[in-house]
Amino acid sequence: MSQRAQSAGTTIPFWRDERVIKGVAQVISAIVVIGALAFFVGNVIRAANARGLGLGYGFLRDASGMPLGESVIPYDPSKSYAYAFLVGILNTLKAALLGIVLATILGTVTAVARLSSNWLVSKIASVYIEIIRNVPLLVQLFVWYFAVFQKLPPVRESIQLPGSVYLSQRGLYIPRPVPMSTFWTWLLLTAIAMVLAIVLYTTLTRYRLQTGRTTYAELVAAAVLVLIPLAGWFLPGERPLTLELPEMGRFNFSGGLRLTPEYAAMVTGLVVYTGAFIAEVVRAGILAVDRGQFEAARAMGLKNIQVLRLVVFPQAMRVIIPPLISQYLNLTKNSSLAVGIGYVDLFYVGRTIINQAGQAVPVFVMVMATYLLMSLITSIILNIYNRRIQLVER
């Protein structure tokens, strides 16, 4: 046709040139996005100026004047806002780290129970999972905090659990490990033992692979890892760590470590909630390993424990790690619900600073950036690990 003849002979007009269209589209979208951002930021600056507030971060050096319920580092209201913010970050990490460790343990145990050949045990595990996963976390935190930890008896009538653990309205008192003079030497010794064990294990394994002789690499490494620290613990006259037990005084406990009811409720809630999700992740991972793998491993004469350690576990980990990463991230982000039960976490401190200093936007940017940074760091670390254990395709 004539059209075709035309386009074959002449060059494409610029409004139909794909490169031009793409370039223009990008410029337009950039203008729209940047324009919208500029509009919002302009409004913020205008509003801030109208109220006589700057948008800088200078106020962070001012004394905060706000009391905080708990802190990992020494804190009092004369410290600066920046320092209070740091307290919030540390409190969030304190809840998230313990939560991650305990939730992983609970999740793994639940997954194993869920896969148990015992019908009753498996049903109990699945009832736990189905109840917990279908109730919002904030509701669960309310139950833990307002209905459980706040309803505990007063200090005088504390519930005593085995191992000098006391539960009362004022929180959870547990024995506190106190490092003695020999502690740091002992820690160094343990670190050396750990390095030695790893070195021994790798060399012995390499030797076994090269020569085919039995070397008992695991046994030797385990012996080094256990015996050296044990010797360091018992041989000197003084133990490197002693436990300071909480003792009932006239009105309150003295000694021991106190976990506030807010912290206890926060961690309990996070662990019980995330544990149910991790259980499903771990279960899916174990089920993803083909039955044939078990059978083949058994046919090759591996023992039960070897089948798990050498065949099932490495393959299951590949499936488990990516969703596990997102569960850990969820837990960290969910710790922001602490504000609902008054645990002094990052978000709580940020909100208090906003109320106190009136600097909504700068503080808010700091809070968001901190959460983003935490998400980013976690996912980078776990992604590196994940890349190492992924299947190498030939």
Partner 1 sequence: MSAPTTIVRPPSAPGPLRWLRKNLFSTWYNALLTVLALALIYFVGKGVIRWAFFEANWDPVRYSLKLFAVGQYPPEQIWRIGLILVLASFLFGLSARVWGGTIRNFALALAVALGALALLPADLSPLGPTGRLWLAAAPLLAVGGYLLGFTPVGKGRWALLGWLLSFVLMIVLLNGVGGISWLPRIDTSLWGGLLLTFLLAMVGIVGCFPFGVLLALGRRSSLPVVRLFCIAFIETVRGVPLVTILFMFSIILPLFLPEEIRVDRVVRAMLGMTFFASAYMAENVRGGLQAIPRGQFEAAKALGLNGFQTTALIVLPQALRLVIPAIVGQFIALFMDTTLAYIVGLTELLTVGKIVLQSNTEWLFLDMEVFLFVAAVFWLFTYSMSYASRRLERALGVGSR
Positions touching partner 1 (CB under 8 A) are: 22, 25-27, 29-30, 33, 40, 43-44, 47-48, 50, 116-121, 124, 130-131, 134-140, 142-143, 146-148, 150-151, 333-334, 336-337, 339-340, 347, 351, 354, 360-361, 364, 367-368, 371-372, 375-376
Query: By C-beta, is 124 or 289 nearer to partner 1?
Result: 124
Query: By C-beta, is 71 or 332 nearer to partner 1?
Result: 332
> Taking the complex as a whole, how short is the minimal distance between the CB of residue 357 and partner 1, in angstroms?
13
Of the chain, the end-to-end C-alpha distance in Å amounts to 52
> Taking the complex as a whole, how short is the minimal distance between the CB of residue 364 and partner 1, in angstroms?
6
Q: Report in angstroms the alpha-carbon separations of 52 from 37, 324, 351.
A: 22, 47, 20
Question: How far apart, in whole angstroms, are the C-alpha atoms of residue 98 and residue 271?
Answer: 9
Question: How far apart, in whole angstroms, are the C-alpha atoms of residue 114 and residue 120?
Answer: 10
> Taking the complex as a whole, how short is the minimal distance between the CB of residue 367 and partner 1, in angstroms?
6
Query: By C-beta, is 134 or 210 nearer to partner 1?
Result: 134
Question: How far apart, in whole angstroms, are the C-alpha atoms of residue 120 and residue 111?
Answer: 14
> Taking the complex as a whole, how short is the minimal distance between the CB of residue 252 and partner 1, in angstroms?
23
Query: By C-beta, is 3 or 214 nearer to partner 1?
Result: 3
> Taking the complex as a whole, how short is the minimal distance between the CB of residue 302 and partner 1, in angstroms?
21
Question: How far apart, in whole angstroms, are the C-alpha atoms of residue 214 and residue 301?
Answer: 16
> Taking the complex as a whole, how short is the minimal distance between the CB of residue 27 and partner 1, in angstroms?
8
Question: How far apart, in whole angstroms, are the C-alpha atoms of residue 204 and residue 217?
Answer: 5
SS3 12: coil
Query: Nearest-CA neighbor of 249 among 149, 153, 173?
Result: 173
Query: By C-beta, is 36 or 73 nearer to partner 1?
Result: 36
> Taking the complex as a whole, how short is the minimal distance between the CB of residue 6 and partner 1, in angstroms?
18
Number of residues assigned to the chain: 394
Query: By C-beta, is 46 or 206 nearer to partner 1?
Result: 46
Question: How far apart, in whole angstroms, are the C-alpha atoms of residue 117 and residue 365?
Answer: 51
Instruction: Say what angle helices 346-357 and 81-114 make with each other, to 10 degrees.
Output: 150
Amino acid at site 188: L
Query: By C-beta, is 134 or 211 nearer to partner 1?
Result: 134
* Sole residue written with tokens 């576990």: 313
Amino acid at site 231: A
DSSP string, 78-116: TSBHHHHHHHHHHHHHHHHHHHHHHHHHHHHHHHHHHT-
> Taking the complex as a whole, how short is the minimal distance between the CB of residue 306 and partner 1, in angstroms?
20
Query: By C-beta, is 158 or 335 nearer to partner 1?
Result: 335
Question: How far apart, in whole angstroms, are the C-alpha atoms of residue 189 and residue 233?
Answer: 10
> Taking the complex as a whole, how short is the minimal distance between the CB of residue 381 and partner 1, in angstroms?
15
Query: By C-beta, is 38 or 195 nearer to partner 1?
Result: 38
Query: Nearest-CA neighbor of 88 among 364, 337, 341, 367?
Result: 367
